Structure 1
């Protein structure tokens, strides 16, 4: 038997041997309790049982804690792109409530984005087909009765349809560029001078344009994009104005933004339609009647440009008949 540790305490006994005393030391080893087989086996068994019990408690606690996570995972896995209306039920566990609410908020944004994309794709495909269908129909009729056709007029109509197709494609490319988050070419710009230059170089339209450009205000902007907004607003005003268009540059009421205002004396926009005109491919009845070749993308592009400049583009109430569009851009900070 191998003894791990032994404690020996000797005892002395005196005896007489012959004529002299005899001192005898007697010692017997005392084996500690943990050196015996039975005790060691009992200790090992107790240790194993205690470890197993601790593992069982820890496993059960872990499973109980992760059960809500597994439920959330299963619910989230069942949500697909074809049915983004489903949401993950908010659990009772306070620890997971915030996480699930964040997931549902993300799903809300994703659903809105996908819905907008589907509507945009549907509208874009419809508007892309319309010019092609017109071209095809005109050419088919011309080929059926070639002797009776005014071929110069057919060519003129075909070119008009091609121009509309080209305008739609150009606007779609511009929207794609804006949506991609491409960096802007920002420059410190005197907005009044920029507007004045654009008005001087703009060809004469159907009605005269008057301007109020007395206040010089500096903004940080992509000049090309702001010129695009001004051109879109002036084109829109020229289609609807009866006798005049007015352009004004001034400071906002709060004094923190520059305002570019384009107003006309046309029929105006009903209050319940003022946000709708900024939806892609949406054209009010009056717009379709006045300009059938329009794309319905000019105002949405203009608002998007305002947004990427941390500005706004809105239709404001007007004191006179007609529409009043106001572009607001943050003023440049003093350097």
Structure 2
């Protein structure tokens, strides 16, 4: 079996095609041999009957004479008078020889049979007829035997069938070998091109066959996969470059502060320097935390999904710490979703931190349930985001000019993480039109709690 699986597909399909054709040819040959043999036996039987009738007629009218055709080739003949005496026979079956067969036909009919190992023909099979006919002095009996048709009918037929079997099986195997080879040529070209692709050179694409078939579909799918792989690698390279840049910034600031403090230790305000270093460490810690979160999301790692009271979660996060601006909430009670509580809390805090960073005086949080969808809106009354930049803010490390002015220490990963968490929960996070400021809208599959009161409860904090 290991040898068989070690052969090429071309060889295996050729062998299978040849074997199948050989089986078909064998079945056809056996069927033809049986049919031809049966036809030959039937024809030989009919001729034997005709000969018996003709000979009985001749003896009835002319009597037994030397002119009686008792020397037919391949035939044995015995003629018995009413007393059972042999009156004529072919050479070797004289008066002292017993009857060729023990068949006892009715006086008004004949009996024919195919018999083997007769005493007169040991080891042979014969077609035997016992034919009674009437003469003036009584009933005479004519026994005749001819050789039965062998299983192979004849050597010429057997040779013809064998040659046809070999030709058909050979032609089928050769044709299958050629056809499979031509069919698999694109596979070889695709394999050769794929072998040239490396992690540092993803620009190659496999050749696409000209015919619209499964191999063309395979080549197109492979090219699309390579496109995605190249995009993913390029995205990872950009991400690594951006991450390295953002990681170097706080480290460089810390190094400069430490070097300056060491150069002038007596003139250094150490508490002030420590606070500055602590700010850089906090920024570095936030950036590392965001990078770890991005890595977990990219790897598809998520916590256990449980039913979550989204209304209670939003209220708890709003109450967890005070904000520098007022927070207006309109929360529909009893909004339930199925998700990871920690990830959802991270998403909500990223939206709230972003809104607080850009708000002038207030943040508005609205939670509602609309046709099986939990809709959470986080709005601020700041400058807002231009329509052509609404997707840009969800790109990693992307920060608009307004964001840099308000908070130079941001990581540029909060909103991308928020969107990715939303998508892992089967939802969406978009920026939609608002009369003033930015309006972030989160949509997640949700449902109402069994005993929820759906009246909105506006609260201002």
TM-score scaled by structure 1?
A: 0.82
Cα distance between partner residues in 1 of 2:153 and 2:164: 13
Alignment of 1:171 onto 2:171? no
Deviation at 1:41, TM superposition (A): 9.3
> Which residue does 1:102 correspond to in 2?
221
Alignment RMSD, CA only?
Answer: 3.2
SS at match of 1:25: coil
Give 3-state SS (helix, strand or coil) of 1:259's partner: strand
1:209 to 327, 348, 352: 327
Q: Alpha-carbon deviation of 1:158?
A: 1.3
Deviations 1:215-250 (A, max 9, x none): 542222222221111111111111111111111111
What are the ranges of 5 or more consecutive residues in structure 1 without an aligned counterpart?
1-7, 14-20
Q: Is the 8 A contact 1:72 1:88 kept in 2?
A: yes
Counterpart of 1:127 (choices 242, 246, 271) is 246
**Alpha-carbon spacing, 1:48–1:328, altered in 2? closer, same or farther (3 Å):** closer
Q: What is the deviation of 1:84?
A: 2.4
Q: Structure 1 residue 78 and structure 2 residue 145: aligned?
A: no
1:67-95 deviation digits (Å, cap 9, x = unpaired) = 12222222232233223233323212222
Q: CA deviation at 1:10?
A: 5.9
CA distance in 2, matches of 1:263, 1:51: 78
Matches within 5 A, 1:58-69: 58-69=176-187
Ranges in structure 2 where 5+ consecutive residues have no aligned partner: 1-72, 79-86, 94-120, 122-146, 451-461
Mapping of residues 178-257 of structure 1, within 5 Å: 178-202=297-321, 204-252=322-370, 255-257=371-373
Aligned residues between the structures: 319
Instruction: Please give the per-residue CA displacement for 1:119-162, whole angstroms capped at 9, x wherever unaligned.
Output: 11111111112111111122122222223322222222111111
Of 421, 435, 445, which aligns to 1:330?
445
Question: Is the Cα contact below 8 Å between 1:75 and 1:88 reproduced in 2?
Answer: yes
2:143 is aligned with 1:25: no
Q: Secondary structure at the match of 2:339?
A: strand
Partner of 1:144: 263
1:243-282 mapped onto 2 (5 Å cutoff): 243-252=361-370, 255-282=371-398
Partner of residue 74, structure 2: 9
Question: In proportion to residue count, which structure has more strand?
Answer: 2
Q: Is 1:247–1:260's contact at 8 Å kept on the other side of the alignment?
A: yes
2:231 paired with 1:115: no
Cα distance in 2 for residues equivalent to 1:235 and 1:261:
14
Indicate conservation of the 8 Å contact 1:192/1:215, yes or no.
Answer: yes
State how far apart, in whole Å, the 2-side matches of 1:191 and 1:311 are.
14
CA 230–47 in structure 1, closer or farther in 2 if over 3 Å, else same = closer
> 1:303 matched to which residue of 2?
419
- Shift in alpha-carbon separation, 1:70–1:149, aligned structure 2, 3 A: same
- Displacement over 6 Å in runs of 4+: 32-36, 38-47
Q: Is the 8 A contact 1:10 1:25 kept in 2?
A: no
Q: Distance in 2 between matches of 1:44 and 1:259?
A: 80
Say if 1:188 and 1:332, in contact at 8 Å, map to a contact too.
no
User: Equivalent residue of 1:233, what SS?
Assistant: helix
Distance (Å, rounded) in 2 between the aligned partners of 1:151 and 1:245: 38
Q: Is the 8 A contact 2:365 2:378 kept in 1?
A: yes
Match of 2:428 in 1: 312
Which residue of structure 1 lines up, in the alignment, with residue 274 of structure 2?
155
* Residues in 1 aligned to 2:362 and 2:449: alpha-carbon distance in whole angstroms: 37
TM-score, normalised to structure 2's length?
A: 0.61
Indicate the SS of the match to 1:167. helix
